Amino acid sequence: MKGKPVLIVDDERNIRLTLSQSLEPLGLEIDTAVNGEEALDKLKERDFGLILLDLKMPGMDGMEVLRQVSEIRPEIRIIIITAHGTIDSAVEAMKLGAVDFIQKPFAPKEIRELVSQVIDREKMDEQKATDYGSCIELAKKCVGDRHFDAAIEHVRKAVSLDPSRPEAFNFLGALLEIRGDHPEALKHYRAAISLDPTYEPARKNLRRATSLEPNGAIILDEVKKQQRREEG
């Protein structure tokens, strides 16, 4: 995927601009589309490796673009751009292989780090996944490939490497929820909360999963952030 162009899809000019400018130092070729229709047209012309996709757009929305991309070009990685607050239909997005989210407003460094992370993840394999962070990364790669059972396995490995951290339990909860194993999912969200009562993503997931709207957001983005802090 390294070297392949990146497509930015957002109806807001300032978002396209901020993202393009922030990614410039990575030396990646960047193209933009102002809506879903243009994005799909551009996909026919060029071989993109990564798409940064806004879910809320007039006309064809991001979710529909995601659905079509996952059918015609399942190998393309997707980063979803979200507004502050919950990510609507994130369960569905994850089912379609989108596991990376970036929330507005974004700092240029933050965007570069996430894009690099997604690109570097492609080179990962099981031999290299020997610590907590890389097991989680490998699991995300598997979600990108829609290999959910493999993803579950890698997250379980992360749990066994460090059972005292909430991130993997939360991720596992989300994956089990996707598989339809609701009681097990809740158990894992609760396990994450009991390890760290202040761990917001698991609290939000549990609140959502036990509410009347079970198809709301699965919160994963803060996992990445914590990992980054450790690495930095």
Partner 1 sequence: MSPGQRLYIIIVGCGRLGSYLANRLSRDGHSVVVIDIDESAFDALSAEYSGFRVEGDATEFAVLEQAKTDEADLVIATTREDNINLMVAQIAKKLFHVPRVMARVFEPKREEIYRDFGIEAVCPTSISGDIFLRWIEGSSAMDGKGS
Alpha helices in 122-212 (DSSP H): 132-144, 148-161, 166-179, 182-195, 200-209
Please identify, using beta-carbon distances, which residue of 110 and 184 lies nearer to partner 1: 110
Quick note: the x/- pattern for partner 1 over 84-103, rule CB under 8 A, is x-------------------
CB-neighbour burial class of residue 199 (10 A; exposed 0-12, middle 13-18, buried 19+): buried
**116 touching partner 1, by CB under 8 A:** no
**109 touching partner 1, by CB under 8 A:** yes
Shortest separation between residue 165's beta carbon and partner 1, angstroms:
20
Shortest separation between residue 193's beta carbon and partner 1, angstroms:
20
Shortest separation between residue 124's beta carbon and partner 1, angstroms:
26
Q: Which stretch binds partner 1 (CB under 8 A): 15-23, 52-60, 92-100, 185-193?
A: 15-23
Among 4, 5, 11, 22, binds partner 1 (CB under 8 A): 22
Helix, strand, coil % (nearest 5) of the chain?
Answer: 55, 10, 35
- Please, what is the Cα angle at 90 between 209 and 221, to 5 degrees? 95
**56 touching partner 1, by CB under 8 A:** no
Shortest separation between residue 3's beta carbon and partner 1, angstroms:
23
Distance in angstroms (rounded) separating the CA atoms of residues 54 and 83: 9
Q: From edge to edge, which strands make up the β-sheet containing 50-54?
A: 30-33, 6-9, 50-54, 77-82, 100-103
**Number of residues located near partner 1, criterion CB under 8 A:** 14
Binding residues (CB under 8 A) for partner 1: these are: 13-14, 17-18, 21-22, 84, 104-110
